[in-house]
Chain A
Amino acid sequence: MNRFTRRDIVMSAGLAAPALILPRAARSAAAFPTKNIQFVIPYAPGGGFDVYPRVVAPVMEKYLPNKVNIVPINIAAGAGSRGVTQLYRSKPDGYTIGIINIPGMFILQQQQGAGAYDLSKFSWIGTMGEGERYVISVGSNSPLKTYADLKALSAKRPVKLSVTGPEGTAYAATMIGAQLLGLKTQLITGYKGSADYVVAAIRGDSDAVIAAIPTTLRFIRGGTIRALASFETHSSFPGVPDATALGQPELDNISVERLIAAPPGLPADIQNTLSTALAKALADPIVVKWAKDNDLIMKSHTPQETARLIADQRAFFDKWKKYLVTG
């Protein structure tokens, strides 16, 4: 492997002799990567946005043309804005990439102002798996047995939903989901983290909870929670109505996306190298098995698909953001 790489470099050096007049980016591509790649995680260690890169990065290294390490680094300050800003301002040479939370960053920009970065200008590498969809569920001891029961309750009094603080993606999903379902709600806000607010529903703090499917699935399997309606186009829960059956196809737009980005202006060939390595890593048996163990779908997206994805999410978010304005 090592030998092959060396010959590769020698060959490219030979070819480069007449090509010295080529722009710098084109020359660097042949050799990319020659040093370790920094992977910015704008959150503290331990959460979902931290774990994905830590699983995928070592596998992704295998599929890069040269043997270098992809080193995850947590820059957790300012609810994610510091890490994203730092990524945005880095040199677009492919040696700094990072993970971006959508719609988390939309929400943050709405609260903090646009900040020093423009989300639409990033160079996209791809996604870390398919975005997580949502489901509305109740604790297994709840008197509500079906979605119709929930609607009936909503007709009588506001349905209490437990949720994270207004800066969280779960809050946006809950607000938009409740609007689309036409539920009258009262939110119990402020729970810390995705498991915490689901457990609140199990405990009976709230009537119901709108949470990402992988998180909810763990509790469904444990027999502590019951799904009433899935926000997917095609329900993955047997006997549970989905967005199509509820007549609200837009529910499927509510998701958490883990996008992989590089600073604006990344040369196309480096972007391609990274994107290909990421796609191969997501199809690698190690990652596939890990995803299966954790109920995640590890589908990859091309840079173009990713750019379209974020544009779609932007449009969807802008349509609903008036419900998310907070004091």
Chain B
Amino acid sequence: MLQMWLGGIEGLLQVRELAFLGLGMFIGLFFGAIPGLGGAAALALLMPLTYGLEPFSALALSGGVMGGVPMGGSITAILLNTPGSAPNAATAIDGYPLAQQGKAGMAIGAAASANAIGGIIGTVSVLAILPIAKDIVLLFGPPEFFLLAMLGLVIVSTTSRGKLLRGLITGAFGLMVAFIGYNDVSGGERFTYGIEYLWDGVHLVPALIGLFAVAEMINLYVKGGSVSNNPASVKITSMTSGLLETFRHWPTVIRGSLIGTVVGAVPGVGGVVASFLSYSMTVQAAKESEKDSFGKGNIKGVIAPEAAINAKDCSALIPTLAFGIPGGVEMAVFMGILIVHGMQPGPLMLVDHQVEIYGLIWALTASCVLASFVGLLLVRPLARVTLLDSQILVPLVLCVAFAGSYAIDMTIENVVITAIFGVIGYLMIRFDYPRLTIVIALVLGASAERNFHQTMLMSDGQWAIYIVRPICLLLLAGIVILLALPIARGVSQQIAGAKPSAQGG
């Protein structure tokens, strides 16, 4: 085992491999920062170039890209409320309010350190579970996945405090949108109104760009001024303050990393679920008195998703490599690169290509730590973006947002989706509806439905299947507890009368 670990490091510690790793990291940072472009686009673009490379160089390059993307994505999420890639949408929820308060530097610093630490914790956990990775992947069938999706929806909707009804409304809206397109189980399309584009459903990334970037730019333009309303503090905040914040919130970092690792290992679940679950669990776990500060610039709301995203990147390799089931588009493209290099993902991959796999894991880890350093160095100049006047900033960001939306797969309909969701997003800001639930419903809706139908086909319509499988039972218990907890809390508070309660979740 140790032999293989060292073999992986040895393979990586060549001038050429390190150069490719660094190159990949910069490309990842750049592609991650631009909305619409992400790891998948970067890898797809680089795929033909890797053809002439040694497998190890190609892996170093890919690992570099995948490690750099989350950092890049968090920068735009914090500065402009524009998630550079989909999972960073969770970072924007508290990151952008921090930028508005003039604390962009601190938020980016915290994101960078959470990124690096999350990546390292993710690596350690993956190294620990890799020998039994196959069994973990096989534990999650359609019934487990359906309940996991339900758990995700429940966790997120109980997060929107005091706005439970509004959260449910937007969640239900998200589910309705998620059901547009192909019905995976019975075939045929639904709710597409003869529009060919909608056959593949409403694409997630254009919708997210609309909900966050465009909506915020409309909002900013209506208000006028600049992102930050506290110019003095923008100039003061440095990267160190953010760095320290992460070390001050160890439980949040660890929780986020572990959630990221677990979610990443479940086949077919992407980074969005990891970052949103981590965010919501952090809100759940926070002290009663602190809960209201989330969404208004709580630094933990930046740390939690960022730690989860990078931890997830590492463990997402497990279902991809062991079974050839990519967890998202990025992994699907990466699988293509592996196949081009004669490494066929499957059960044998973990046996035949161990040195390469460990090399890849090291590359990914090294890249995410490196990217964090680069991110830290950029804090000062980047934070000044929040001082730009909306007259300059809004057109710039709108251009990048729409161009990015178009660039995903060169389809003009993406731009229309972005515009529609931009208006919806602005209305949600204006009338104070949470955007968290709509995102998680968009991400999980279609697969939750599919897995529910598959479960019913598996069990010949017997609901008992959800109780007889141990993992299902565990997930069910989690859902019940989460739903019961707020009610129980409410009751106990009534009993305690005016006495302030301070227990955590």
Name A's B-contacting residues (CB within 8 A): 44-47, 50-51, 54-55, 58, 72, 74-79, 81-82, 111, 160, 165-167, 171, 186-196, 199-200, 202-206, 215, 218-219, 221-224, 289-290, 293-295, 326-327
CB neighbours of A191 from chain B (8 A): 454
Are B188 and A327 neighbours in the complex by a CB distance under 8 Å?
yes
Are B348 and A54 neighbours in the complex by a CB distance under 8 Å?
no
| One of A111, A193, A196 near B188 (C-beta < 8 A) | A111
Q: How many residues of B contact A (CB 8 A)?
A: 52
Are B267 and A45 neighbours in the complex by a CB distance under 8 Å?
no
A294 CA / B453 CA spacing, docked (Å): 33
- B residues 151-190 in Cβ contact with A at 8 Å: 182-188
Can you list 14 A-B contacts with CB-CB less than 8 angstroms, sorted by A residue number?
A46-B326, A46-B335, A50-B336, A78-B197, A165-B183, A190-B185, A193-B326, A195-B325, A196-B323, A218-B344, A219-B347, A223-B347, A293-B342, A295-B344
Interface of chain A, main secondary structure:
mixed
Q: A44-B332, A55-B51, A190-B450 are in contact. List 13 more A-B contacts (CB 8 A).
A: A45-B40, A46-B329, A55-B340, A77-B196, A79-B182, A188-B142, A188-B457, A192-B268, A193-B324, A196-B325, A219-B346, A224-B347, A294-B344
A49 CA / B134 CA spacing, docked (Å): 27
Are A203 and B346 neighbours in the complex by a CB distance under 8 Å?
no
| One of A46, A82, A295, A326 near B333 (C-beta < 8 A) | A46
Which of A166, A204, A206 neighbours the largest number of chain B CB atoms within 10 Å of its CB? A166
Is B478 among interface residues, defined by CB-CB distance under 8 A? no
B431 to chain A, nearest CB (A): 34
A192 CA / B340 CA spacing, docked (Å): 21
A39 CA / B287 CA spacing, docked (Å): 57
B329 to chain A, nearest CB (A): 7
Total contacts A-B at CB 8 Å: 153
CB neighbours of A199 from chain B (8 A): 137-138, 267, 323, 325
A72 CA / B345 CA spacing, docked (Å): 23
B54 to chain A, nearest CB (A): 14
Are A190 and B453 neighbours in the complex by a CB distance under 8 Å?
yes
A142 CA / B325 CA spacing, docked (Å): 22
Are A189 and B185 neighbours in the complex by a CB distance under 8 Å?
yes
B100 to chain A, nearest CB (A): 37
Are A46 and B332 neighbours in the complex by a CB distance under 8 Å?
yes
The answer to whether A45 and B339 touch (CB under 8 A), given A190-B453, A294-B344, is no
CB neighbours of A204 from chain B (8 A): 141
Are A218 and B196 neighbours in the complex by a CB distance under 8 Å?
no
CB neighbours of B347 from chain A (8 A): 218-219, 221-224
* Interface flags, B313-354, vs A, CB<8A=1, else 0: 000000000011110010011111001101011111001000
A116 to chain B, nearest CB (A): 11
B189 to chain A, nearest CB (A): 9
Are A45 and B333 neighbours in the complex by a CB distance under 8 Å?
yes
CB neighbours of A75 from chain B (8 A): 409-410
A173 to chain B, nearest CB (A): 15
A193 CA / B329 CA spacing, docked (Å): 12
| One of A74, A205, A327 near B409 (C-beta < 8 A) | A74
A167 CA / B186 CA spacing, docked (Å): 9
User: Can you list the 4 inter-chain pairs with the closest CB atoms, starting with the nearest?
Assistant: A222-B347, A166-B187, A218-B346, A195-B324
A75 CA / B200 CA spacing, docked (Å): 13
